[in-house]
Structure 1
Amino acid sequence: MSRKSRVPVAAGEADWITTDPVNAMRTVIQRLIPAGKSRIESAAMSVGMSVRTLQRRLAEMGVSYSDLVDEVRLAHALTLIDDHSIKLWEISRRLGYADAANFDRAFRRWTGHSPSQVRAFDRKSRIDLIKRRASVSAPASRSDRK
């Protein structure tokens, strides 16, 4: 990546990304998803790194960028699903999915349930699901999926 194409990093953000890259990337991803720019190229540019450097930093921490995107999307999805005034297609759009079917497949992969099933759960069951997911640091990595 050329110097010209890098986005300036906010004061203090350079240290932040080097000291805690996983949490830094979660925050970056949270900002990028609503803008529809959750691709790794956008994240790398926003922190002033090349894609490869970002991949290496995350690999050193034992996580991939796609795992972090899944984790952030799941956390946000579970929050939005709790609000029954938001339609499921709107949730999929807010999470950056091209259509509701892609969101449904990803959500089933993450939780073992469809979004509509989870929405139908009583509040205690949804909280239990969130706690179970929170006890796992991130959705299964792509290499773990068969």
Structure 2
Amino acid sequence: MESRDKQLEQFVDCFQAIGRFMKRNQWSNQGATEITKTQWLILRFLWKHDGCTIGQLAERLEVRSSSMSQMIDRLELAGTVFREQDKNDARTRIVKLTDTGRETITSMKNAQVEMLAGPFNQLTLEEQTALVEIMQKMTSSLKPQGRQRQEGK
């Protein structure tokens, strides 16, 4: 068991080092694109899902809907998102990316990929494939701590 704990500790150290590297480089080199990490997460989620409700965004980022509404207000003022009426439910608004929002997320995503390309390309193709599969497997089994506690009750 001790060996397993040591491996997990090494994994956490590596994961944190990668996170610090990305934070240091992405947010310091973003240039004219002045958005916060939370705004980046919102834009990226909208980019992947072609729009969604404020409730869906709030659930994804684990914040209250009222907090998410305020975040969307700021992104709307920045011209990166817009709200439109849901075709199936007139009471519901769908948040979508504007062209500016798509350009912002695309340029930042490309910079992120470029930033990690060097270290990633140090791995063989087999190692790259295995790493991605392992990370996807781990990610799919994660649950927010609050939900685990609620489900355990």
Q: TM-score scaled by structure 1?
A: 0.39
- Structure number with greater Rg is 2
Greater share of residues in strand: 2
